[in-house]
Amino acid sequence: MSEKLQKVLARAGKGSRREMEAMISAGRVSVDGKVAKLGDRVEGSEQIRLDGHSVNVQAAEQEVCRILMYNKPEGEMCTRKDPEGRPTVFDRLPPLESGRWIAVGRLDINTQGMLLFTTDGELANRLMHPSRKVEREYAVRVFGEVDDAMLKRLKDGVKLEDGPAKFQQIFYRGGEGRNHWFHVVISEGRNREVRRLWESQDVQVSRLIRVRYGDLELRRQLPLGGWIELPLNEVNYYRKLVDLKFEDKTKVKVDDKAIDNAKARRIRRSVKKHHQRTIKQTRRRRS
């Protein structure tokens, strides 16, 4: 059966379907030597090239859907390469034999916490799409006076420069003086939406941590800068959430599912080694 060309390219890890559509429209993709057009379909036996480079295409049933949970530290960019040489969230991820890791949404440089990566571009697109209304929960520390009227406005909806926005839920988690911790839930992934909602009420966000995506929470023992691959049942939770067919294969070993103390120590050692390598590379560039 044929599939849309942009879907095949996204599954091969070349980017999101929207990015692939733009590349096809720009004439950067060819099929069997002919420049492709938006709307073209392929069966999988064709020679597909992107910017002249051959694309390794796998049928959907041959591809193993993998998902990583990453605990992003502050200071990392959600991009593959940063022109200023700053560290990116892709720097620490394990290498793949084919395809590439695709980030499910973004966290800005000053936000930390749960970030998902997958090898399945269709899954990433659906999890990010506003129409799916997948919940994201954040722990947020704000500085300023917060009262019940403000919280009501934030739940009822306020107007931002790109349209109305609101928190689905707000939970107070304590604080001292003018510093207060809240947990907030949204179901969109607009740029800096959580920060902008609070700032619309003249309070400042001083810490922001994503702690949940859908029903799965950030692993408590997962250190900053560490990742863990999700087991098959959790991969299929996300696939079911966005109406995709269940997976029946996984790369995760049975004893790798949980994070015990020994595994947490191994992850921390790996994170530390990566940090030391990054410092050395930065010093070499500066010298």
Active site positions, annotated: 108
CA-to-CA distance for 98 and 165, rounded, in angstroms?
Answer: 39
Q: How many CA atoms lie within 13 A of 66 on its CB side?
A: 24
To 5 degrees, how large is the angle CA 16–CA 19–CA 22? 150
Would you give the DSSP letter of residue 256?
A: G
Query: Which residues fall within 8 angstroms of residue 286, CB to CB, at 6 or more apart?
Result: none
Query: Could you tell me if residue 11 is left (phi over 0), alpha (psi between -120 and 50 degrees) or otherwise beta?
Result: alpha
CA-to-CA distance for 287 and 277, rounded, in angstroms?
Answer: 15
Long-range CB contacts (within 8 A, 24+) of 155-160: 158/197, 158/200, 158/201, 160/193, 160/196, 160/197, 160/200
CA-closest candidate to residue 63, choices 2, 129, 122: 122
